[in-house]
């Protein structure tokens, strides 16, 4: 209608009364041709959009009534402008136009509210689907972990039975062979270079030194411990093992020339001090409680070392202090126990 009115206005400027109908027919044909071109262009532009959502009947009626009401309002404006109406007709058409515009505005606003509700519902559904996907992934991860734990428990039971049998028969070399398989001693070279006098300390630190050599980590140490201490040897294995393993995991990703770990252990007056420092990338991830989290993707299998250390330190009324300076991570542990010497 807008296109036809445009051509009508152009040809009406040509004051040739006897050719009025010919000009009007020409304007109609030209407007239809231009209208067809516009429709083809719009169809080509929007043909890639595919809609699967079916609009409710009330929304379809509203969309259909918007152009109809607009045409009536435009027609009434032309009638009033061209002076083809009486005063009563002008009031009638103006009132009808106002009512149509008001109705269309209310309808469009209501339609907008319904669209906003559908958008919120769609957004909520997407978030819900993401949450379901996350929960499914977590469930699968936990299921795999539980299955691995069941297998480990089953295998460990038989291995412990074998160790018990070899121990009763004093076949200690066979026991060592079984333990070496679990500790991957076939890949780790231990040269027994650490000999502080404490057999437990020496064995543990020699093992982890071999791991450091495997990953080309510069491992320096200073041990001042007696042969006999009041601390349980198994507790020392857990504390040192978790601390050194965490240091190795933090240092491994760095370039070879930057991989460094230093260890200081002293024991004096029934107080043991352990200080382990390692280089790292300078990035530390913490949760809302300020606890340090692992950066590995499989968080269910990693990130427990520091918590395990805290559990053993509490047994000795000790303290744990963590500090970072210039890409160096330092862990200080103090253990208190009366000496049995």
pLDDT in tens, 231-256: 788 888 888 888 998 899 889 889 99
Average pLDDT estimate for 24-41: 77
Separation of first and last alpha carbons in the chain: 107
* Band (333; pLDDT cuts 50, 70, 90): very high
Comparing CA positions, the residue from 70, 153, 60, 134 lying closest to residue 104 is 70
What is the per-residue pLDDT for 51?
Answer: 61
Structure tokens at 327: 């890409």
pLDDT in tens, 88-106: 777 887 788 888 888 888 8
Average pLDDT estimate for 159-164: 75
Residue 13 has pLDDT above 90, yes or no: no
Residue 335 has pLDDT above 80, yes or no: yes
What is the per-residue pLDDT for 27?
Answer: 65
pLDDT mean across residues, the chain: 77
Which of the two residues, 154 and 218, has the higher pLDDT score?
A: 218
Structure tokens at 268: 């004096």
* Band (40; pLDDT cuts 50, 70, 90): confident
Structure tokens at 174: 């066979």
What is the per-residue pLDDT for 50?
Answer: 64
What is the per-residue pLDDT for 303?
Answer: 46
pLDDT in tens, 274-313: 999 999 988 776 665 556 655 555 544 444 567 788 888 8
CA distance 104 to 68: 10
Average pLDDT estimate for 161-180: 76
CA atoms within 13 A on the CB side of 238: 16
* Band (192; pLDDT cuts 50, 70, 90): low
What percentage of the chain reaches a pLDDT higher than 90?
10
pLDDT in tens, 113-129: 877 788 888 888 888 88
What is the per-residue pLDDT for 269?
Answer: 82
What is the per-residue pLDDT for 260?
Answer: 93
CA distance 321 to 82: 90
* Band (218; pLDDT cuts 50, 70, 90): very high
What is the per-residue pLDDT for 259?
Answer: 93
φ/ψ (deg, to 5) at 236 = -65, -35
Residue 5 has pLDDT above 60, yes or no: yes
* Band (153; pLDDT cuts 50, 70, 90): confident
Residue 160 has pLDDT above 60, yes or no: yes
pLDDT in tens, 258-276: 999 999 999 888 888 999 9
Which of the two residues, 27 and 307, has the higher pLDDT score?
A: 307
CA distance 203 to 198: 9
Residue 158 has pLDDT above 80, yes or no: no
Comparing CA positions, the residue from 21, 10, 299 lying closest to residue 137 is 299
CA distance 82 to 62: 30
What's this model's pTM, rounded to 2 decimal places? 0.48
* Band (15; pLDDT cuts 50, 70, 90): low
């Amino acid at each position: 209608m807008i296109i036809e009115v445009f051509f009508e206005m152009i040809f009406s400027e040509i004051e040739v009364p006897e050719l009025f109908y010919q000009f009007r027919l020409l304007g109609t044909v030209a407007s239809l041709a231009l209208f067809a071109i516009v429709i083809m262009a719009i169809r080509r532009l929007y043909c890639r959009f595919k809609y699967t959502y079916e609009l409710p009947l009330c929304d379809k009626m509203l969309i259909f009534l918007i152009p109809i009401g607009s045409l009536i309002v435009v027609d009434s404006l032309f009638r009033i402008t061209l002076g083809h109406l009486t005063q009563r007709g002008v009031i009638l058409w103006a009132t009808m136009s106002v009512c149509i515009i008001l109705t269309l505005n209310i309808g469009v606003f209501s339609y907008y509210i319904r669209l906003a509700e559908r958008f919120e519902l769609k957004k909520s559904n997407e978030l819900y689907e993401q949450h379901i996907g996350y929960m499914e992934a977590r469930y699968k991860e936990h299921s795999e972990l539980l299955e691995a734990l069941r297998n480990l428990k089953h295998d460990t039971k038989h291995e412990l039975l074998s160790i018990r049998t070899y121990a009763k028969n004093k076949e200690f070399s066979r026991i060592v062979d079984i333990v070496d398989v679990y500790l991957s001693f076939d890949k780790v070279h231990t040269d027994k270079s650490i000999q502080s006098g404490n057999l437990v300390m020496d064995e543990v630190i020699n093992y982890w030194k071999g791991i450091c050599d495997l990953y080309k980590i510069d491992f320096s140490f200073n041990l001042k411990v007696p042969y006999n201490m009041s601390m349980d040897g198994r507790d020392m294995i857990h504390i040192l093992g978790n601390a050194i393993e965490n240091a190795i995991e933090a240092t491994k990703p760095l370039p070879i020339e930057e991989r460094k770990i230093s260890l200081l252990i002293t024991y004096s007056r029934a107080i043991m001090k352990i200080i382990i420092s390692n280089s790292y990338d300078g990035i530390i991830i913490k949760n809302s409680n300020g606890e340090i989290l692992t950066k590995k993707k499989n968080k269910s299998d990693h990130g427990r070392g520091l918590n395990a250390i805290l559990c053993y330190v509490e047994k000795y009324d000790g303290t744990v202090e963590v500090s970072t300076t210039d890409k160096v991570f330092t862990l200080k542990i103090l253990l208190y126990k009366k000496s049995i010497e």
